[in-house]
């Protein structure tokens, strides 16, 4: 009897130890996942949900109204690169796109960590990046420009000697500008850009352009189509010269089987004029060194070409009722697309408030 009792106690203790081990193992697995959740926040849950569905997870910018801008009220992304992402997704037989907002600082990190499948976020082609990632055929060619206040009265790059010039962190603006200064003879081959001016690294484009506006910076070095986001009647590009030709590419992990398909999709869009259509829609004209703030008239696109574009089996155009391609100007003052959306969101919010008030009044009368 005592022997049976000991066996029972042993079995019970073994069962308890097994449960403890199982709980510790589950807790260990849970803890391993916590840091990644903290790092990615809500976007991590979006990416995880996308992986379970047939969605292409695309990293995009959040604050560039012509290229990619996130509207919080509608929870939607609108812009040239967002339209491009949707076309690419459909060409790869995905049902839709899961947009994941990224910053310049962590955009490549998001790709490395697997939070996104590809990156369409103003990534410029460089030899160093091509050695690490798969880079597509460039979908947009832009030009590095010097952005100044008209009140500086600068006429040439020589006027920048000894001045403070800002540039966005995690971009190649500083290196590109230095190479061009050497090429143009402003500094010799043994000198660096620090012998010509003081380059100031800024955390984001807002602070960069604010520095130019307030005078804490004498100029800014940045891509022309991004500079357009911040231009007004008081700002201008310094001369028609540019310090770099920047080729924006779709970025995927090295050896990703989708890289070739993405490249084919972009080439098809070029052949059918879709890229030009999107550029016209969002007022992006990089065909000339002197960039325009006016939307390009798309009426010169032939009917046959438009039929080919609409018939292309890579998905329908994104809804344009909420994101009509407009870039209006009043005098020399640009009205940003994001400002138009924010006004619409505000009107919708006011309309909802009025409807609620009318309903409350009606209930009281009843």
Give the other-Cβ count within 10 Å of 54's Cβ.
11
For 362, the 3-state DSSP assignment is helix
For 134, the 3-state DSSP assignment is strand
Q: Model pTM?
A: 0.65
Residue count of the chain, please give it. 366
Domains of the chain: 40-139+249-348 (3.40.190.10), 143-246 (3.40.190.10)
Question: Do 147 and 222 touch, CB atoms closer than 8 A?
Answer: yes
Higher per-residue pLDDT: 278 or 334: 278
DSSP state of 74: T
Question: Do 145 and 290 touch, CB atoms closer than 8 A?
Answer: no
Q: What is the C-alpha separation between 262 and 93, in angstroms, rounded? A: 11
Helical pair 2-40 and 42-52, crossing angle rounded to 10 deg: 110
Please write the tens of the pLDDT for every residue from 73-93.
999 999 999 999 999 999 999
In 3D space, the residue among 287, 339, 348, 266 whose CA is nearest the CA of residue 66 turns out to be 339
Please write the tens of the pLDDT for every residue from 169-214.
988 999 999 999 999 999 999 999 999 999 999 998 999 999 999 9
- What's the pLDDT at 37? 28
| Confidence at 3, pLDDT banded by 50, 70, 90 | low
Lowest mean pLDDT among 95-104, 236-245, 302-311: 302-311
- What's the pLDDT at 48? 57
DSSP state of 230: T
- What's the pLDDT at 51? 55
Q: What is the C-alpha separation between 341 and 322, in angstroms, rounded? A: 8
Residue 347 in tokens: 């009107």
Residue 238 in tokens: 């310094």
Residue 151 in this model has a pLDDT that exceeds 90: yes
Please write the tens of the pLDDT for every residue from 279-306.
999 988 755 433 333 333 333 333 443 3
Tell me how far apart the 2 most distant CA atoms of the chain are, in Å: 104
133: left (phi over 0), alpha (psi -120 to 50) or beta: beta
Q: What is the C-alpha separation between 322 and 325, in angstroms, rounded? A: 10
Question: Do 248 and 123 touch, CB atoms closer than 8 A?
Answer: yes
Please write the tens of the pLDDT for every residue from 345-355.
455 555 555 55
Which residues have CB under 8 Å from 358's CB, separation 6+? none
CA angle, residues 147, 223, 112, in degrees to nearest 5? 140
| Full DSSP string of 32-78 | HHHHHHHHHTHHHHHHHHHHHTTEEEEEE-SEETTTEEEETTTTEEE
CA angle, residues 74, 77, 78, in degrees to nearest 5? 105
Q: What is the C-alpha separation between 157 and 113, in angstroms, rounded? A: 41
Higher per-residue pLDDT: 190 or 358: 190
For 139, the 3-state DSSP assignment is coil
- What's the pLDDT at 289? 36
Q: What is the C-alpha separation between 241 and 289, in angstroms, rounded? A: 8
- What's the pLDDT at 23? 75
Q: What is the C-alpha separation between 167 and 173, in angstroms, rounded? A: 6
């Amino acid at each position: 009897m005592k022997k049976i009792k000991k066996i029972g106690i042993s079995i019970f203790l073994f069962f308890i130890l097994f449960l403890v081990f199982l709980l510790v193992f589950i807790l260990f697995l849970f803890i391993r996942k916590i840091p990644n959740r903290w790092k990615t926040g809500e976007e991590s849950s979006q990416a995880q949900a996308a992986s379970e569905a047939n969605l292409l997870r695309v990293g995009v910018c959040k604050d560039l109204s012509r290229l990619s801008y996130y509207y919080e009220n509608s929870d939607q992304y609108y812009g040239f690169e967002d339209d491009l992402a949707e076309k690419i997704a459909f060409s790869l037989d995905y049902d839709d796109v899961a947009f994941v907002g990224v910053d310049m600082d962590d955009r490549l990190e998001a790709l490395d960590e697997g939070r996104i499948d590809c990156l369409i976020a103003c990534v410029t082609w460089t030899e160093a990046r091509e050695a690490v990632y798969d880079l597509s055929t460039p979908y947009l060619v832009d030009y590095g420009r010097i952005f100044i206040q008209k009140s500086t009265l600068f006429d040439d790059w020589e006027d920048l000697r000894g001045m403070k010039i800002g540039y966005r962190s995690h971009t190649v603006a500083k290196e590109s500008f230095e190479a061009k200064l050497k090429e143009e003879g402003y500094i010799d081959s043994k000198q660096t850009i620090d012998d010509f001016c003081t380059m100031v690294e800024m955390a984001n484009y807002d602070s960069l352009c604010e520095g130019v506006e307030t005078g804490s910076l004498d100029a800014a070095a940045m891509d022309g189509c991004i500079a357009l986001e911040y231009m007004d009647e008081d700002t201008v590009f310094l001369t028609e010269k540019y310090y770099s030709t920047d080729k924006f590419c779709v970025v995927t992990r090295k050896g990703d089987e989708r890289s070739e398909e993405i490249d084919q999709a972009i080439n098809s869009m070029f052949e059918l004029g879709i890229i030009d259509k999107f550029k016209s829609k969002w007022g992006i004209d990089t065909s000339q060194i002197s960039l325009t703030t006016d939307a390009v008239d798309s009426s010169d696109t032939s009917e046959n070409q438009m039929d080919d574009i609409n018939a292309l089996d890579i998905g329908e155009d994104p809804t344009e009722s909420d994101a009509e391609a407009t870039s209006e100007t009043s005098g020399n003052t640009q009205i940003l697309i994001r400002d138009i959306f924010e006004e619409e969101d505000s009107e919708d919010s006011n309309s909802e408030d009025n409807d609620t008030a009318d309903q409350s009044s009606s209930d009281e009368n009843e």
